[in-house]
């Protein structure tokens, strides 16, 4: 059984992790919107840079978010969503889903730039 302090710390990590997840949803879906609607400007390149930076961080941490590693200190749960306020299925497939959306956006961007 975890003590109250550990539960509070885990809750804070989950809250921060979820806020960052929401931020990257905005980034990725703005990117998709911008290339779909052919509104390619500096924000598109900032979005790509942010996603690539996040990808480098994940690669450095063996495909684990650093916040997951912090949350692990406060929980021994084996659930995919122990460290974030998401449904378990979404937490499990999060990287796959958003990687596909990002790659579709990049393919559309390449198409727009080549046209």
- Cα–Cα dist 115/110, whole Å: 9
* H helices present in the chain, as ranges: 4-36, 42-60, 66-72, 88-114
- How many structural domains compose the chain? 1
Q: What is the pLDDT of residue 63?
A: 95
Mean pLDDT, range 66-84, rounded to an integer:
95
Mean pLDDT, range 41-62, rounded to an integer:
97
Mean pLDDT, range 42-67, rounded to an integer:
97
- Averaged confidence pLDDT in the chain: 96
**What range does the domain containing 54 cover?**
4-114
Bigger pLDDT: 75 or 6?
75
Mean pLDDT, range 75-90, rounded to an integer:
96
Phi, psi of 25 (to 5 degrees): -65, -45
- Cα–Cα dist 93/80, whole Å: 9
Tokens 């996603």, residue located: 51
Mean pLDDT, range 92-115, rounded to an integer:
97
């Amino acid at each position: 059984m975890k003590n109250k302090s550990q539960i509070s710390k885990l809750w804070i990590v989950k809250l921060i992790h979820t806020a960052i997840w929401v931020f990257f949803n905005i980034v990725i879906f703005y990117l998709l919107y911008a290339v779909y609607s052919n509104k390619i400007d500096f924000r598109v390149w900032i979005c790509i840079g942010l996603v690539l930076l996040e990808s480098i961080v994940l690669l450095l941490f063996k495909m684990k978010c650093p916040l997951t590693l912090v949350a692990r200190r406060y929980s021994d749960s084996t659930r995919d969503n122990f460290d974030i306020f998401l449904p378990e299925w979404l937490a499990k497939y999060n990287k796959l889903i958003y990687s596909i959306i990002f790659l579709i956006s990049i393919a559309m961007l390449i198409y727009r730039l080549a046209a």
